[in-house]
Every structure is written in C-alpha cells, then in structure tokens.
Structure 1
Amino acid sequence: MTHYLYLVRHGEQQDAEHGLPDGPLSPRGRRQASLLADRLSGVPFDAMWNSPLQRAAQTAQTVAERLPALSPEPTALLFDCVPTGVTGETPAAFEPFFGAVTDEQVEAGRAQMADAVSEFLVRKPGEVHELLITHNFVIAWFVREVLQAPEWRWMTINQANCGLTVLAQKPGRPWTLLTHNDLAHLPVELRTGLPEPLRF
C-alpha cells in the first residue's frame, strides 16, 4: 500500500508579469487548470489542500469541480515563500535573487516549510492519494527534501504552471520522486512559468 502525494503549481496568474503579488488566473491559467482537472479526474483522492492565495485557490476550485467528492482545504503551510537565505554553499549566481528578500521573510519561510514537511511528508496507513496545489518554491523544497539535496538546491528545481509532481512512499521505504513537472496534459502553447520555455 502506497502513500502518494501529488504536488501541483497553480495556473498562470493574470498580469503576473507586472509584478503583482497575487491575482486571479489568466484565461490561459484557467485552461491549464481545466486540463489538469481532466488529467486527475481518475485518481481516487482522499484529500486536497491548497495555498490560500487567489491563483492557487482558483486552480483548486477548478479541479474540485471535476472531483465533486473533494472539497479544497486552504492551509497557510502551502503559501508562497522563500525557504532559505544565502548559505555557504549557494552559488554566487543566485545571490542577486535575495537582494529584495528580508531576514524576516526567510525566517518565516524556513519555519513554514519545516511545518509543511512535518505535516505532509508523513506516512499514513493504507493506500493514500493526497493533492496539494501550491507554488513553485514550495514544490521545489518538497522535492529537495525527498532527494536530501543541499538546501540551496531548491533554487534549481522549477515547476511550470499546472505541472504535476508525484512523490510516493511504500511501507518501510523512504519517500521517492515518481515524476517531476509532468506536462503531458498541457499542449506546448500552455506550458508557461519556467525560466526557459519548453519547445517540445
């Protein structure tokens, strides 16, 4: 019996390029969320959680419309956050990112992700399927945690809008990464949100 954790980045946000901290999904984001819902419609989910931010909540609501047995549950553990500051191992190329990040934000992000890992990366009995709709950095931290990579490595792990990452744990075994940023449900023109666009 396996515990599956499905991690999804929210759909594309309206006017995200203008630097708005949050907002509704763009028309393309709504289409991404709808295709994600189609992709997940056959999974026997036990629970679904989402970040309270509007773009994630709207993505969760779109999925829930196709999975009427599920009710999205917002949780502050899935908020967008910065889980670390510059460490001794952080490559210099990444240091400019932290110029606008305060020590308080880093401290809050680190505490949040410690709590999120304790809450969600915990083995549950039986066959379990849980869905988390959240943000790029949060998913990157979960993947880094499962792979036991150095802390700064979350900065090198990116998810497209409505990309699907699946973690799994069998009894007596560690968590494993089954798939990362799976975009099979999205046509090329809907594959947005990565630092470098995918051309295939």
Structure 2
Amino acid sequence: MTHYIYLVRHGEQQDAEHGVEDGPLSPRGRRQAEALADRLSGVPFDAVWHSPLQRTSETARYVAERMPAIEPQPHALLFDCVPTGITDETPAAYEPFFGAVTEAQIEAGRAQMADAAAEFLVRKAGEVHELLITHNFVISWFVREVLEAPEWRWMTLNQTHCGLTVIAQKPGRPWSLITHNDVAHLPVELRTGLPEELEVLV
C-alpha cells in the first residue's frame, strides 16, 4: 500500500506581473485549474489541502467542482515562503535574489518548512492519496527534501502554474519522486510560471 502526495502550484494570478502579492486567478489561471481538475478527477483523494492565499484557494475550488466528494481545507504550513538563506554552497548567481529577503522571513520560512515536512512527509497506513495545492518554493523544498539534496538546491527546481509533481512512499522504503512538473494536461498556451528560458522547453 502506497502513500501518494500530489503537489500542485496554483494557477496563474491576475495582475501578478504588477507586484500584487495575492489576488484571484487570471482567465488563463482558471483554465489551468480546470485542466488540472480534469486530470485529477479519477484520483480517490483522502484529503485536499491548500495555502490560505486567494490564488491557491481558487485553484482548490476548481478541483473540488470536478470532485464534489472532497472538501479542500486551508493549511498555514502551505503558505509561500523562502525556506533558506544563502549557504556556503549557494552559487553566487543566486545572491541577488536574497537582496529583498529579510533574515526574519528566512527564519520563518525555515521553521515553516521543517514543520511542513514533519506534518506531511509521515507515512500513513493503507493506500493514501493527498493533494497539496501550494506555491513554487514550497514544492521545490518538498522535492529537495525527498531527494535529500543540499539545501540550496530548492532554488534550481521550478514548477509551472498547475504543473503536477507526485511523491510516494511504500512501506519500508524512503520517499520517492514519481514525477516532477508534469504538464501533459496543459496545452502549450497554458504553460506559464517557469523562468522565461525554460518555458520554451516544456
């Protein structure tokens, strides 16, 4: 019996490019969420959790419309965050990113992701399917954690809006990465959210 966790980044946010911290999904974001909901409609989810922010809450609502038996729940450990600061191993190219990040934000992000790993990366009995609708950096940290990669490597992992990442654990085995940023359900025009140099490759 396997414990599956499906990790999804929220759909594209309206006016995100103008520096708005949170807001509703854009028309394209709604289409992304609908495509995701269709993709996941056959999965027998035991729980659906989402960040309390509006863009993640709306993405979860679209999923729930396709699967009325589930009831998405907000979870504070899925908020967007920065899980580490610069480490001794962090390449210099990433240093500018941290210029606008405070030590308090980093400390809070580190504590949040430690708690999130302790909360979610715990083997549950039987066949379990859980969906977490969250943010790019949170998913990156979960994947890094499962792969036991150096802390700074979360910065090299990116997810499209409504891309699908799946991790799983069988009894007696460590967590495994099943798929990362699967976008098969998204037509090319809906594949947004990656750095520009990567979007042309998916």
Shared topology, TM-score over 0.5? yes
SS in 1 for 2:88: coil
Do structure 1's residue 177 and structure 2's residue 181 form an aligned pair? no
Do structure 1's residue 197 and structure 2's residue 191 form an aligned pair? no
The Cα offsets for residues 49-92 of structure 1, whole Å up to 9 and x where unpaired, read as: 00001000000010011111111110110000000001111000
> How many residues end up aligned between the 2 structures?
200
* Partner of residue 168, structure 1: 168
Whole-Å Cα distance in 2 between the matches of residues 7 and 126 of structure 1?
A: 20
What percent identity do the matched residue pairs reach? Answer: 80
Whole-Å Cα distance in 2 between the matches of residues 13 and 62 of structure 1?
A: 14
Do structure 1's residue 40 and structure 2's residue 45 form an aligned pair? no
Q: Which sections of structure 2, spanning at least 5 residues, go unmatched?
A: none
Aligned pairs for 1:50-61 (under 5 A) are 50-61=50-61
Letter of the 2:168 counterpart: A
Shift of 1:19: 1.1
Shift of 1:197: 1.2
Do structure 1's residue 4 and structure 2's residue 28 form an aligned pair? no
* Partner of residue 31, structure 1: 31
Whole-Å Cα distance in 2 between the matches of residues 155 and 198 of structure 1?
A: 19
Q: CA RMSD in A?
A: 0.7
Whether the 8 Å CA contact 1:22–1:53 is kept in 2: the answer is yes
SS in 2 for 1:88: coil
SS in 2 for 1:181: strand
Aligned pairs for 1:1-200 (under 5 A) are 1-195=1-195, 196-200=198-202
Whether the 8 Å CA contact 1:191–1:198 is kept in 2: the answer is no
Whole-Å Cα distance in 1 between the matches of residues 69 and 124 of structure 2?
A: 20
Whole-Å Cα distance in 1 between the matches of residues 147 and 200 of structure 2?
A: 24
SS in 1 for 2:199: coil
Letter of the 1:92 counterpart: A
Whole-Å Cα distance in 1 between the matches of residues 8 and 200 of structure 2?
A: 18
Runs in 1 of length 4+ with deviation above 4 angstroms? none
